[in-house]
Chains A and B, each alone.
Chain A
């Protein structure tokens, strides 16, 4: 997975004044997760975590209307405090599993957290070996400008 970024991947990074362990644990502690995994319109999040490779998680976000948005997935790699890899399935992924990799990079007293969210975990192996070239970056850029 090293720097193998598909054109259909989201990469978001943020440098936070905390150590990698604290930040890493916040992803796997259900209480912590319930607290920060709560976008603006969500009144309450309930998280259930089986924090081991092959273990599953469920994050249920409650909307004001009473409706819930369910997110589920499987942990593929738990490498404390450097890397966390899990599948991610939600209504926003068309109920298919996508792949999320979170890297925790120590930057002095702070830690850079990098979230890479890719679309197709079934191509995970392919992307390990072949990789996605940057050939389509330009295409996407052209599209983004032109349409």
Chain B
């Protein structure tokens, strides 16, 4: 994973570490939505919602299309693939380590000379 990807990952996880932004993403899972509709769903100002949306856009998790005055947001899950790779690597790593830990801890002669 290079530097570019690392920066992407930073944006993705920064974007994900806020409950409002996660809620926005969750809402976009099923269907695209207009910015104004999303703003109406949350008890915070349009200004704050816009900031959250910009962070999601920066992370590449949300795409905006503009038709006339209508801004429509859609979900782009691709940046999550980096997270998925990370998860996959470490799942395999820790599964292997715990198997080795078991072998170590249950090996009779090892235990005796500890």
Contacts and interface: CB of A to CB of B under 8 A. Distances in A.
Contacts of B90: 10, 92, 117
Contact of A113 (B83, B101, B103): B101
Contact of B96 (A9, A17, A40, A138): A40
A87 interface: no
Contacts of A139: 25-26, 29, 75, 77, 80
Q: Provide the main secondary structure of the chain A interface.
A: mixed
Contact of B100 (A12, A37, A135): A37
Interface of B is mostly: helix
Interface string B8-24: 01000100110100110
A38 B93 CA distance: 10
Interface of A: 6-10, 12-14, 16-18, 22-23, 26, 32, 35-40, 92-96, 113, 115, 117, 119-120, 123, 126-127, 130, 132-133, 135-136, 138-140, 142-144, 146-147
